[in-house]
């Protein structure tokens, strides 16, 4: 980071003033944004609720050049301007508007956000400024000093714009039009079982990068092809191969890229090709010197990558993940994934989770449950969630919100899903704990759906062929007490995962009678099972919504799942109660899905102890 700090000292006194450069403002997502110096734009933002989008359209519903993004002020007493950001209320960013303003609890529509920030005149003028958003839900138009810099669709993935040529010495402003209205062609689609939190829900920062910077890089252990038997690597290789690739933001040949891993005494220098890339470079390291990342030993190595005088630091773990028949192999050894599903919602009450503290609390609960694995449903969670899980030794399933009945025939819907998949993988492909990319949840079968998801699966492999592909399927071949999984997507996934709710949407007494037929020689994960209970509500085990009902459901399900051949893991639904507009039962749900093992206030229900005991025996 030495090069970055020197640049920032001159570039960011309280901000930065950078020279213009000829490029589109929408630029590819920067890898490891945390590795660069930046100016946080978090904090108080003014906001205007715009129910009829008058700040964007005229009364004929045509885009207007006099919109709120101009941040106009009266120049003469008779000037008519019907808004004023400076006099509007403020909201802390990052956050969601639903829990920050009680009037907006159910609101779905447009809200404008406004932030002033300062940039100072500088000695160094040959650098760039990227305006970075961790996530905005859902449709965002971004303006800097009245100029449109980009339009982003998708509520859970990061994006950045080059705003170098728009910044000025002194006071600047950024305005964001945020619209979270649901549409049938969106991803997720019009209906989904979680709260549609609107707003700028993750960090905003102005990132300082040099003129030529490291746009992307990959560093990881090449999968070991040696045979394994009974969970032990018989060949015991003396060396392991590490793969490294990198991409600059410009197609410049002959640039030196240096990789330094101090603890392993590795220093390698590579030269970029005509595309500005270091492609497929490998080198060996002695096995006895290399500690592999695992839940028991979540070892991360300090890594530095330099281009010229600029150095980016990261923490990287080395591990392999693969399948053999019905087993999942981590570092060549079979592993049972003791998991839980989690929504990206604050641990104590509702609201979009967005901090390191939120992540630590939720993941600590999962660890207390005995988990070595979490399913981050049903969309990419904030980056701190993935990184904290990596430090804590928790494996991760990461998912895009292709959920329920997507518009399978709509090309724009597919491109939207593809873009979200791209950004999810771009952000987290260096995290050792991420082992599964999931492309869908509970999607109805059709030829159009198979084409849509099959193409997504194949595309994901072109981006990252070092991880497993899966999706949460539905069991559709049920006949009396025999459930047969039959899904054409079986040929595209590495791990067969499906949701089942015996005991909730079907009588719990059926559980001991159930037989499961899974006609694929692949590992099986039960990606969801469970049922609801209101914390503190007690009664007989056959009384729905009581803790005893949920407790018995888990007892019967765990016994049933033990009989499934090839079971490689489970992620029951769900760690904690979460808000959902579909859950309206007064006095019980009150707009919360109550399937959590923890209440919305973090209280343990009786079923928590059932699952914990089951995992202890695994």
The residues spanned by each domain of the chain are 2-210, 224-319, 337-616
**How far from 55 is each of 70, 101, 109, 115, CA to CA, in Å?**
10, 20, 13, 17
Give the pLDDT of residue 478. Answer: 63
616 CB burial (10 A radius; 0-12, 13-18, 19+): exposed
Residue 446 has pLDDT above 90, yes or no: yes
Least confident of 254-263, 474-483, 515-524: 474-483
**CA-CA distance, 566 to 325, in Å (whole number)?**
9
pLDDT band at 259 (very low <50, low <70, confident <90, very high): very high
Per residue in 46-71, pLDDT (tens digit) is: 999 999 999 999 989 998 888 999 99
Residue 476 has pLDDT above 90, yes or no: no
Give the pLDDT of residue 18. Answer: 35
Fold of 224-319: Immunoglobulin-like (2.60.40)
Give the pLDDT of residue 509. Answer: 87
Q: What is the mean pLDDT of the chain?
A: 92
Bridge partners of 506, per DSSP, are: 502
Residue 14 has pLDDT above 80, yes or no: no
- In degrees, rounded to 5, the angle at the alpha carbon of residue 429 between the alpha carbons of residues 151 and 304 is 105
Per residue in 324-353, pLDDT (tens digit) is: 999 999 999 999 999 999 999 999 888 999
Reported in sequence order, the residue ranges of 343-487 that DSSP labels E, i.e. its strands, are: 373-376, 395-399, 434-441, 468-474, 477-479, 482-484
CATH second-level architecture of 337-616? Alpha-Beta Barrel (3.20)
Question: Quick one: average pLDDT of 290-304?
Answer: 98
**CA-CA distance, 176 to 111, in Å (whole number)?**
8
Question: Quick one: average pLDDT of 478-491?
Answer: 86
**CA-CA distance, 418 to 201, in Å (whole number)?**
22
Q: Kindly report whether the peptide bond that precedes residue 327 is cis, defined as omega within 30 degrees of 0.
A: no
More confident call, 232 vs 566: 566
Per residue in 138-151, pLDDT (tens digit) is: 999 999 999 999 99
Q: pTM for the complete prediction?
A: 0.93
In a 13 Å sphere around the CA of 156, the CA atoms on its Cβ side amount to: 30
Candidates 2.60.120.260, 3.30.590.10, 3.90.1300.10, 3.90.245.10; correct CATH number of 2-210?
2.60.120.260
Question: Quick one: average pLDDT of 110-127?
Answer: 79
pLDDT band at 445 (very low <50, low <70, confident <90, very high): very high
Least confident of 117-126, 179-188, 288-297, 538-547: 117-126
User: What count of other Cβ atoms lies within 10 Å of the Cβ of residue 527?
Assistant: 30
In a 13 Å sphere around the CA of 256, the CA atoms on its Cβ side amount to: 10
Give the pLDDT of residue 13. Answer: 36
What is the dihedral sign for C-alpha 500, 505, 509, 510?
A: negative
User: What count of other Cβ atoms lies within 10 Å of the Cβ of residue 285?
Assistant: 17
More confident call, 271 vs 1: 271
How, if at all, do strands 567-570 and 524-528 pair? Answer: parallel
Whose CA is closest to 566, among 290, 352, 325, 371?
325
Give the pLDDT of residue 129. Answer: 93
Question: Quick one: average pLDDT of 129-141?
Answer: 97
Give the pLDDT of residue 224. Answer: 62
Per residue in 398-424, pLDDT (tens digit) is: 999 999 999 999 999 999 999 999 999
pLDDT band at 3 (very low <50, low <70, confident <90, very high): very low
Question: Quick one: average pLDDT of 433-440?
Answer: 98
**How far from 544 is each of 88, 509, 511, 532, 539, CA to CA, in Å?**
47, 14, 16, 8, 9
Task: Calculate the CA dihedral of residues 499, 393, 608, 556 and round it to 10 degrees.
Answer: 40
How, if at all, do strands 395-399 and 434-441 pair? Answer: parallel
- Cβ-defined contacts of 325-329 (< 8 Å, 24+): 325/521, 325/522, 325/566, 326/521, 326/522, 326/523, 326/524, 326/565, 326/566, 326/568, 327/523, 327/568, 328/435, 328/468, 328/495, 328/523, 328/568, 328/569, 329/228
Per residue in 140-188, pLDDT (tens digit) is: 999 999 999 999 999 999 999 999 999 998 899 999 999 999 999 999 9
> Is the backbone of residue 97 left (phi > 0), alpha (psi -120 to 50) or beta?
alpha
pLDDT band at 477 (very low <50, low <70, confident <90, very high): low
Task: Give, for 278, the enclosing helix (H) or strand (E).
Answer: strand 277-286
Give the pLDDT of residue 225. Answer: 52
Residue 15 has pLDDT above 80, yes or no: no
pLDDT band at 431 (very low <50, low <70, confident <90, very high): very high
């Amino acid at each position: 980071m030495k090069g970055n700090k020197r640049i920032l000292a001159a570039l960011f006194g309280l901000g930065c003033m950078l020279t213009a450069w000829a490029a589109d403002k929408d630029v590819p997502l920067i890898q490891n944004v945390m590795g660069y110096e930046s100016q946080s734009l978090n904090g108080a933002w003014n906001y205007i609720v715009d129910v009829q989008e008058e700040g964007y359209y005229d009364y004929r519903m045509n885009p207007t050049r006099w919109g709120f993004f101009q941040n106009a002020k009266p120049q003469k007493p008779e000037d008519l301007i019907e808004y004023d950001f400076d006099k509007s209320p403020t909201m802390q960013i990052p956050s969601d508007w639903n829990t920050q303003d009680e009037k907006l609890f159910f609101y779905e529509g447009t809200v404008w956000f406004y932030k002033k920030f300062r940039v100072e005149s500088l000695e160094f003028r040959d650098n760039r400024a990227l305006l970075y958003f961790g996530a905005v839900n859902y449709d965002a138009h971004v303006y800097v000093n009245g100029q449109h810099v980009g339009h982003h669709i998708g509520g859970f993935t990061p994006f950045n714009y080059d705003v170098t040529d728009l910044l000025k010495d002194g006071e600047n402003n950024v305005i964001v039009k945020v619209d979270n209205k649901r549409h049938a062609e969106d991803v997720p689609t019009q209906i989904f079982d979680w709260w549609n939190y609107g707003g700028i829900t993750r960090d905003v920062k102005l990132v300082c990068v040099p003129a030529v910077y490291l746009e992307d890089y990959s560093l990881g252990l090449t999968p070991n092809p040696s045979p394994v038997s009974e969970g032990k690597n018989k060949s015991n290789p003396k060396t392991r191969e590490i793969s490294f690739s990198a991409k600059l933001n410009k197609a410049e040949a002959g640039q030196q890229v240096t990789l330094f891993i101090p603890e392993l005494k590795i220093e390698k220098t590579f030269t970029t090709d005509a595309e500005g890339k270091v492609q497929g470079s490998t080198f060996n390291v002695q096995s006895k010197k290399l500690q592999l990342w695992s839940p028991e030993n979540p070892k991360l190595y300090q890594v530095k990558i330099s281009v010229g005088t600029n150095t980016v630091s990261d923490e990287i773990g080395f591990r392999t993940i693969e399948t053999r028949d019905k087993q999942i192999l981590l570092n060549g050894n079979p592993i049972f994934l003791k998991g839980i599903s989690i929504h990206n919602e604050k641990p104590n009450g509702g609201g979009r989770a967005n901090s390191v503290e939120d992540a630590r609390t939720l993941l600590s609960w999962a660890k207390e449950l005995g988990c070595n694995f979490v399913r981050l449903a049903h969309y990419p969670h904030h980056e701190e969630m993935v990184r904290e899980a990596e430090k804590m030794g928790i494996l991760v399933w990461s998912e895009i919100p292709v959920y329920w009945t997507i518009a399978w025939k709509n090309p724009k819907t597919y491109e939207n899903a593809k873009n979200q998949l791209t950004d999810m993988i771009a952000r987290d492909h260096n995290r050792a704990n991420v082992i599964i990319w999931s492309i869908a949840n509970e999607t109805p079968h059709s030829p159009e759906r198979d084409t849509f998801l099959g193409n997504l699966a194949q595309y994901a492999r072109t981006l990252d062929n070092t991880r497993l592909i899966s999706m949460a399927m539905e069991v559709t071949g049920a006949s009396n007490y025999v459930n047969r999984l039959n899904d054409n997507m079986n040929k595209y996934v590495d791990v067969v995962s499906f949701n089942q709710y015996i005991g909730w949407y079907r009588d719990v007494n059926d559980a001991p009678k159930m037989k499961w037929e899974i006609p694929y020689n692949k590992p099986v994960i039960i990606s969801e099972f469970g049922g609801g209970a209101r914390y503190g509500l007690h009664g007989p085990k056959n009384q729905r919504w009581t803790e005893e009902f949920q407790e018995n459901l888990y007892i019967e399900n765990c016994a049933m799942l033990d009989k499934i051949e090839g079971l490689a893991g489970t992620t029951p639904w769900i760690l904690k109660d979460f808000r959902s507009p579909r859950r309206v039962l007064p006095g019980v749900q009150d707009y919360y899905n109550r399937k959590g093992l923890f209440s919305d206030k973090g209280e343990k229900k009786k079923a928590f102890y059932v699952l914990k005991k089951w995992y202890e025996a695994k």
